[in-house]
């Protein structure tokens, strides 16, 4: 018989249930926890969605187990940190990163984890405890594909979140728009669609070269941000070629306008978010621009990127590749707000950007002038979260990834004043 778990433990009881190591967890009685479509198996250290195993870092798994075991009850940040990292000093950002990872894999429709501002977190999903239940078989072992950096700022979860949502949805938007506009006919039926990669590991964050002949992407776990590797291939049938061979956490690869270089973001500890470049034809990757993330080119020698002014405040900046003459395009009004990604119009006069407000909630996309003379206005579906944007090559349409109506879909709006 299953039991619904409620607010039955105080935060001071955490140490009685803390999953600080597999050995501690394995001494617990065999129990399973179910919530929504998920099943949590502590003894096996598995999170299942149906018959599919969900990959989590070890600390993210421990965090989830603590939250689930204390379902419905507020867990203070300090108690969570001292339980998850006993006898070790870590910054609050380590916990924030774990929460972000969990929200990514669990989804936010509905949200399972509630943030109590300045206090901590509460698991709000209905949890069913199943003692001694039969466990599902594991088809593929859980592998550790790199450790999440512990030494990030207390606001680190927002950058991971933004670049997770933004990189994937931006790539889908950009590639879809480019292919659709290059072909005067509508797409053929799905039976004629083909996969461009056939690798055993996840492939994510694709980007096309300006001429549409090359594809770059990240290969590896996790699919949004992690120690994956940058690859490139000639379309449609070229063999993928690995360009990087390191353990840096990477995201958001992008071609230079001439296709000779691929820029990508390297995320390090203490809010070190830098742009690196690697030659498309192969060569040694090199650090290029410090404190620059989500970099894209807005002209042959002009770049657009996000820059942290004062943690966690993040704005949009443009500069020549030399960074001489760097200037602000948009700076959020509140110190806690963040402008994460930016997308230049084809004529270089306008910028679509993705931002979080002072409470770190996603807002609609914003349209601002490239000259930075005004804060512009919100565009796309009204009062809905926008996590990525793109332009049609002729500049007549703006595209958005928006959750208007409760689920994320692709929207478009004619520039400048059409309706979404």
Q: What is the CATH number of the domain that holds 54?
A: 1.10.10.10
Q: What value does the mean pLDDT take over residues 361-389?
A: 91
What's the pLDDT at 8?
A: 40
Can you give the residue range of the structural domain that contains 38?
3-130
Confidence category of residue 178, pLDDT binned at 50, 70, 90 = low
Q: Considering the entire predicted model, what is its pTM? A: 0.56
Residue 137 lies in a domain: no
Nearest to 62 by CA among 122, 118, 114, 17: 17
Residue 335 lies in a domain: yes
On the question of pLDDT at 270 being above 50, the answer is yes
Statement to judge: residues 274 and 331 lie in one domain: yes
Q: 130, 165, 192 — which closes off a domain?
A: 130
Residue 346 lies in a domain: yes
Statement to judge: residues 82 and 180 lie in one domain: no
Rounded to whole angstroms, the Cα distance separating 361 from 403 reads 13
On the question of pLDDT at 66 being above 50, the answer is yes
Residue 142 lies in a domain: no
Statement to judge: residues 215 and 318 lie in one domain: yes
Q: What percent of the chain has pLDDT over 70?
A: 76
Statement to judge: residues 236 and 341 lie in one domain: yes
Q: What value does the mean pLDDT take over residues 394-407?
A: 88
What's the pLDDT at 317?
A: 96
Confidence category of residue 145, pLDDT binned at 50, 70, 90 = very low
Residue 290 lies in a domain: yes
Statement to judge: residues 103 and 187 lie in one domain: no
Statement to judge: residues 122 and 164 lie in one domain: no
Statement to judge: residues 87 and 208 lie in one domain: no
What's the pLDDT at 215?
A: 95
Statement to judge: residues 311 and 177 lie in one domain: yes
Residue 100 lies in a domain: yes
What's the pLDDT at 189?
A: 57
Q: What value does the mean pLDDT take over residues 114-133?
A: 81
Rounded to whole angstroms, the Cα distance separating 258 from 275 reads 18
On the question of pLDDT at 81 being above 60, the answer is yes
Q: 78, 95, 130 — which closes off a domain?
A: 130
Give pLDDT tens digits for 287-321: 999 999 999 999 999 999 999 988 888 899 999 99
On the question of pLDDT at 137 being above 50, the answer is no
Statement to judge: residues 110 and 163 lie in one domain: no
Mean pLDDT of the chain: 79
- Which one has a higher pLDDT value, 99 or 155? 99
On the question of pLDDT at 22 being above 60, the answer is no
């Amino acid at each position: 018989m299953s039991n619904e778990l409620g607010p039955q433990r105080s935060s001071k009881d955490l140490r009685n249930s803390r999953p600080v190591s597999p050995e501690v967890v394995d001494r617990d009685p065999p129990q399973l926890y179910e919530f929504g479509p998920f099943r949590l198996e502590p003894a096996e250290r598995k999170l299942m969605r149906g018959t599919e195993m969900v990959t989590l870092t070890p600390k993210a798994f421990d965090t989830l187990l603590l939250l689930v075991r204390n379902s419905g009850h507020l867990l203070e940040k300090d108690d969570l940190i001292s339980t998850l990292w006993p006898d070790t000093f870590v910054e609050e950002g380590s916990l924030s990163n774990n929460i972000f990872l969990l929200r990514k894999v669990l989804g936010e429709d509905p949200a399972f984890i509630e943030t109590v501002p300045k206090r901590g977190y509460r698991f709000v999903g209905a949890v069913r405890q199943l003692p001694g239940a039969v466990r599902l078989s594991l088809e593929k072992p859980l592998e550790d594909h790199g450790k999440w950096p512990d030494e990030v700022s207390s606001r680190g979860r927002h950058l991971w979140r933004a670049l997770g949502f933004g990189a994937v949805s931006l790539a889908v938007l950009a590639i879809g728009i480019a292919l659709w506009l290059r072909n005067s006919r509508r797409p053929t039926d799905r039976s004629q669609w083909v996969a461009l990669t056939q690798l055993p590991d996840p492939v994510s964050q694709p980007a096309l070269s300006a001429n549409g002949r090359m594809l770059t992407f990240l290969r590896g776990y996790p699919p949004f941000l992690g120690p994956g590797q940058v690859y490139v291939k000639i379309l449609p049938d070229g063999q993928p070629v690995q360009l990087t061979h390191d353990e840096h956490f990477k995201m958001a690869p992008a071609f230079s306008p001439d296709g000779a270089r691929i820029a990508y973001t390297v995320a390090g500890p203490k809010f070190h978010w830098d742009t690196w470049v690697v030659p498309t034809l192969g060569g040694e990757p090199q650090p290029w621009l410090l404190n620059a993330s989500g970099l894209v080119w807005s002209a042959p020698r002009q770049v657009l990127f996000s820059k942290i002014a004062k943690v966690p405040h993040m704005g949009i900046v443009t500069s020549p590749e030399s960074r001489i003459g760097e200037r602000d395009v948009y700076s959020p009004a509140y110190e806690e707000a963040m402008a994460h990604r930016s997308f230049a119009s084809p004529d270089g006069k306008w910028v679509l950007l993705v931002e979080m407000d002072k409470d770190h909630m996603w807002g609609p996309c914003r349209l601002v002038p490239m000259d930075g003379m005004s804060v512009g206005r919100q565009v796309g579906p009204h009062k809905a979260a926008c996590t990525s944007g793109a332009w049609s090559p002729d500049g007549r349409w703006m595209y958005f990834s928006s959750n208007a109506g409760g689920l994320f879909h692709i929207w478009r709006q004619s520039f400048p004043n059409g309706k979404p």
